[in-house]
Amino acid sequence: MKITLLGTGDAPGTPVIGCTCPTCTDAHNGGRSKRTRSSILIETEKGKVLVDTGPDLRSQLLGSGVQYIDGVIWTHTHYDHFAGFAEFHRVQYNVDVYGIKETLDYILEYLHYMHPRRHEVRMYTPFFLIGLEFTLFEVVHPPAKRPAGVIIKEGKKKVVITGDTQRNISSRSLEVMICPDILIADAIVPPTIGVKKHMNSEEALDLAREIRAKKVVFTHLSHYFAPHDVASKELPLGFDGMEIDI
Ligand SMILES: [Zn+2]
Ligand SMILES: [Zn+2]
Ligand SMILES: [Zn+2]
């Protein structure tokens, strides 16, 4: 499978409107600190699935040359993870959307005049799309109702996407997350900045150690990191357009 990080920013994105910090300045100048909002593209020769549909989806799909989406999986009900669905719904009708009941209820109420094909799935119960096995697992991201991370398996290969989460993930979820080839982890800030509802980069590395991830890539990044080229010397920061073959 091939994974493309279409958007690696936090909710405001980088640059943040009105900010002139070094990271936002790098983003304005076209550097890799430029981060759009959360969407991850998963591809096999059988098709393409999006994990989350952030508000920048139109430019992300145009930029990556994607022509057709075979399914959308939503992790939770925050605007920066679903609002871009409307960006291609008028281009491609009858999109298949997947999520737990609470997430689909909220998002489809918000997008009430759109009628994608709804597929309710359960936490910890695998479902199959484009030749891959997907499983949602519960994470901790108050006040979102039952937020989920995503496990993707293809044969012996395993990818874990934490979605937005704090570090205190339940032992049941940690058990199913164990030993991924790649962990794509929410790491919104460096440890010098206080944060709730998300992990800082220290906590994300600690999670990677605990579940024995072979590789970790950070996403949902804020402008509080140093400019990408500096920060990425020490930390495994993802960037918009990053492709991972596994
Ligand atoms: Zn988010
Ligand atoms: Zn800034
Ligand atoms: Zn969130």
- Between the CA of 74 and the centroid of ligand 3 the distance, in Å, is 11
CB 218 within 8 A of CB 235: yes
HSE of 91, CA atoms in CB hemisphere, 13 A: 13
Q: Ligand nearest 221 Cα, by number?
A: 1
pLDDT at residue 153 greater than cutoff 90: yes
State which amino acid sits at residue 69: I
Task: Kindly report, residue by residue over 13-70, the tens digit of the pLDDT.
Answer: 999 999 999 999 999 999 999 999 999 999 999 999 999 999 999 999 999 999 999 9
Ligand 2 mean position, distance from CA 30 (Å): 14
CA of 175 to the centre of ligand 1 (A): 24
Quote the ligand 3 centre to 155 CA distance (angstroms): 30
Q: How far is the CA of 109 from the centre of ligand 1 (A)?
A: 19
CA dihedral over 158, 105, 118, 241, signed as positive or negative: negative
Q: How far is the CA of 148 from the centre of ligand 3 (A)?
A: 10
